[in-house]
Amino acid sequence: MEIFLLIISVVLVLIGLVGSIVPGLPGPPLSFAGLLCAAFSERIDFSTTTLIIMGVLMVLITVLDYVVPAAGAKMMGGTKQGVRGSNIGLVVGLILSFVFPPIGLPLLLIGPFIGAYIGEKSNGSEPAKALKAAFGTFLGFLAGTAVKVIYAIILMMMVIVELVKSFL
């Protein structure tokens, strides 16, 4: 059971890292679940304070992930369609990055911006306003993604470092 918990822990923090980038996968909660699995094992001992702090951060980051792109869009005059378009652009970039990497990888970076622009244009925005809103949405998306990735990397490193220490 011990090895099973540790394997599940590592798998969850890795999926959590991927989920920090891929929409639809709850990256921070998966990473935190991995940390909890590690904490329930007998080999790894995280303090209750550490678990509470990381849990509170997970909730905060998860909530902010929904607020930050919308706030970026609204600050620049954007709409919900721009935020949706940004997410669609990211998904298209992700799919293409696996199917045809030479096109998909660059699209992975600019897909959210293009999607936000198309979303704003489909809402009837003028080109200049759509561009400004797309930029705001994209900045919000990047900020949210960066925070999720940093959180996931921190939890992944915590688990891996404790795992390595437990076997030495």
pLDDT in tens, 155-164: 999 999 999 9
Give residue-wise pLDDT tens across range 107-116: 777 888 888 8
The token pair at 86 is 């940004």
Cβ proximity of 71 and 77 under 8 Å: no
Q: Mean pLDDT for the chain? A: 87
Average pLDDT over residues 40-64: 93
Q: Is the pLDDT of residue 24 over 90?
A: no
Task: Quote the pLDDT of residue 98.
Answer: 77
Q: Is the pLDDT of residue 65 over 90?
A: no
Model confidence at 166, pLDDT cuts 50, 70, 90, reads: confident
Cβ proximity of 131 and 114 under 8 Å: no
Range with the poorest average pLDDT among 6-10, 11-15, 48-52, 91-95:
91-95
Average pLDDT over residues 132-158: 89
Per-position b or e across 138-158, b if 16+ CB within 10 A of its CB: bbbbbbbbebbbebbeebbeb
Q: Is the pLDDT of residue 77 over 80?
A: no
Task: Quote the pLDDT of residue 21.
Answer: 85
Q: Is the pLDDT of residue 19 over 80?
A: yes
Q: Is the pLDDT of residue 53 over 90?
A: yes
Specify the residue for token string 């970076």: 109
